[in-house]
Structures are given as C-alpha cells and as structure tokens.
Amino acid sequence: MPIQEFLNRISETIWEIPISYKPGMRVPARIYATEKLIQDMDEAVYDQVTNVATLPGITKYALCMPDGHFGYGFPIGGVAAMDVEQGGVISPGGIGFDINCGMRLVVTNLTYDEVKPYIKNLVDRLYERVPAGVGSTGFVKISRNEFRHLVEEGAQWCVRNDYGWQEDLEMMEENGCLQGADSSKISEKAIDRGFHQIGTLGSGNHYLEIQVVRPENIFDEKLARSLGIYIPYQVVVMFHCGSRGFGHQVATDYLQVFLKVMESKYGIKILDRELACAPFDSPEGQAYFAAMKCGINMSFANRQVIMHRIREVFSQVFRRSAEDLGMHIVYDVAHNTAKLEHHIVDGKERSLLVHRKGATRAFAPGMKDVPQQYKDVGQPVIIGGSMETGSYLLVGVPSGEQTFFSTAHGSGRTMSRTKARKTYRGEQLLKDMQSRGIYVRSTSYPGLAEEAGAAYKDIDDVVEAAELAGISKRVVRLTPIGNIKG
C-alpha cells in the first residue's frame, strides 16, 4: 500500500507513520518537514525510518530530521533513542561510517572589507596547509602508539601538544573528548588508515569555508552577540570534516562482528542487514561503543589541528596574532554519534543511547552539558549548507525534548553524486561561483560537480522547518566568500 495512505499529518511540520505500516514496528516513525519538504522527500527515507522503528529497545519514535535522505541503514537525518535497561541495541548503521563528522565555527574581528583584498591569498594558503581529497595525509607525524593515545584523549591531546588553546576545549561538545574510549578495541587496520590523517579535510561534502555575516541575515541580534557575532559584515570560518578512514574502518569492523552474533547469539532479527546491531550491554556492544568513542575523539583532534592551521594562515596573512584577530571557537558540534544521555520520557527520567545519524545535538538553555558561557542561550547548533548557498548558526530550545534535543545537520542531498557529476560541470561551476564572489579551490572538478547547490535541498527551507517544529532556533545565516572542497 502506498506510504501516502499511512502518512498522518500531526502538525504543520510533523508527519507520522503508525506501527501498522510495517510488521515488526515497535514505535511509530516521525518525519519533521514542511509540506514542501515532505513532497520532495526521498521515498527510501520512509522505508529506512520504519525499519529503524523495529529495532529492540527503541523509545517513543524513530525520527527523521528535515534534511533527511537515503543513507546506510538509518536515513541520513535519522535519530533513535534506545533504552539500555530494556534491551536497547547499538547499531553502526545508526551512527555512520564517518564517525563524528561534525562542524566547527570560528569567529574573527575582521570585516568583509578588510578580508576581501586577501581572500584569494587566504584560500590558496589554506588549501596548501589543510590537505583535502581522497587519501590526503596531514603534517602531524606521530607513531601508531601515540595515535592510540590521541584517539583516547581527542582534542585534549592536541592542546597538550600545542595545537590550540585551553579555552578551545570549553567550546566543543564533550569538551573535545568523549570519555571511555578504549584503543584496545580498535583494529590494526583502523590504525593504519588513521594515524597519518590528522589535520585533513577529506573528500565528499567536507569543506573549509570563509564566510561573512551580513546584517540582514541576523535573526536575533541579542543571541548573535552572545555567540560572538557583533560586528556588521563580520568574517567567520566554518569547516566540516570527520574521522576519515579511521572511523570508516571502525564501523566496518564492527558491522562484521554484529552480523556474526546478532541472530545466532542474541536472537535479533532485522529487516535490513545494514542495521546490524547488538545489545548495548553485550560484550560486542560495549566493545563497539568504546571503539566508536575513539572515532569520535579522532575527529575532534582532526578538527583541532585544522583549527591550528587556520589560525596560522590568518596570522601570517594579516601579520597579527590569532589572539589579536579574535579567532575564538563559537562551538564544535558533532553528528554521526551514539551517546548515553538522560531524557524525560512519559514523565520519567530514562538512560537512553541516542543515535544521531546526520543529526545534530541541540541542547536547550540550562542543560547540564551546555558550556557555561551559553547556559542562558542554549547550545550552539551549526547547520552547513551547500558551497553555493550558505550555512546557519542556531541554538537549542526547550521544546527540542520532542526529538531528544536533536535537529538537522545540513541541507540534505536531493541528487546522487553520480547524477550530479553527469548534470553539472565542475569547471563551469567554479567559474559561476567566482562570478558571484566565492573564490574556490578544489582537488577535482568532478568532486566539485558532486557538491553543486542544486544537488541539495534548499538550506533555508530545512532551517525554517527546524524552527517551525520547535527543535532549534535561527540566529544568523552565513554567506560563503571563499571555499576549499575535498
């Protein structure tokens, strides 16, 4: 029966698929989207989010954010909270291969007029200092044994080794290190793939972007000032990257483990092999959880070293120290994680393993893990758009409890990478962007074509849906002026 016959509109931005839609569903599935977004929603999203609703221990709903599209196992934009005291599982397909692919936003005290004459120089130097593309390697040369320390310590390892400031750690989710990472749970192959990639962007939709905050794009001036946006036409830097081949290998290793034990040892049957899982409290589940934390920490460290390089470049170009340029982190926020959190469900506090696959944590004002500086405004949320359009800075809100305080992570693809390469020419795209005042460096023209703005949903539509649904609040929109693509 067509999905449209089952899809119930709960509100302007919430659409629900009941458990009667598919045998085995334990909870309803909910998609957060405006009517415009739901009409354009990838059909595979419905199948994937309802498959997620069959997993043991899932609580309340299987959720999909406004940027939802087809992924591996979970839809990208998928959120699921598993009750660990009620047989809840952990699933690599609910976290992703690029563990802790995430966003970091950095302010400066420079204006567009000050930066414009130097934009080509800045982008060219950043392109040289921050390796991008498939197989790129970083400048941090460490042993395999030291890499094991790094993945247990995350960004804290970087600061201890002079790749950053102590204050940086306060402006990262989990202070840049998720406790409990255990490098004995990761394979030698994962170390092979990761120990030389610290400080690299990678490929695909990863980017490093110089942006400007135009006055007309400030939605809440008071909140913007609280987050460090206080100068007309202020220049900021945003980048998006993750755990590279290391995280991919960790996920690959444990998918194979789970496929072997899931049914034979634990009697778990699933509708899609890509949702391979194990009980969270099982030896296999705990081993993956500790290994996945290593992936999270590697990514925090990766972004911290990139941060160090960005400060170096700006300092050299403007002949002022990074401190004098006001290059402070607004926030570093993760997506592609699973974390133990306490949430109120049906009036009771429960310990839940919240899977966020292509979704961003969005904690409300006053919540425990919000940095002290932001206690009154809420956790900053960074939602990246395509390289042609723009990105957003938002904050978490109290009504976000409906999604376990989760929101969108980006604009979300509408076109496969293959189709985008066939539809657009990278050379022409580069020229078009430069004619609009966006200077771009990319490792390949086909890679650039894959990331054409038209291959993605409209970022404004996605963010509007998130705000209308009450899962995050817009603060400012950020416009690109310089971009480095992997």
Helix (H) or strand (E) holding 463: helix 459-468
User: For the chain, how many residues are written?
Assistant: 486
E runs forming strands in 276-411: 278-279, 329-334, 337-345, 348-357, 359-361, 380-383, 391-395, 406-408
Within 10 Å of residue 206's Cβ, how many Cβ atoms? Answer: 22
Q: What are phi and psi of 393, to 5 degrees?
A: -110, 125
CA–CA distance, 331 with 381 (Å, rounded to integer) = 8
Candidates 196, 248, 355, 409; catalytic one: 409
Q: Residue 333 in contact with residue 173, Cβ under 8 Å? A: yes
CA–CA distance, 271 with 16 (Å, rounded to integer) = 20
409 is catalytic: yes
HSE, CB side, 13 Å, CA atoms: give it for residue 235: 20
DSSP per position, 100-127: T-EEEEEEEEEEHHHHGGGHHHHHHHHH
CA–CA distance, 75 with 52 (Å, rounded to integer) = 9
Strand, helix or coil at 21?
A: helix
DSSP per position, 222-246: HHHHHTT--STTEEEEEEEE--HHH
CA–CA distance, 367 with 55 (Å, rounded to integer) = 28
Burial (0-12, 13-18, 19+ Cβ within 10 Å), 427? exposed
Q: Residue 17 in contact with residue 3, Cβ under 8 Å? A: yes
Greatest C-alpha distance within the chain: 65
Active site residues: 409
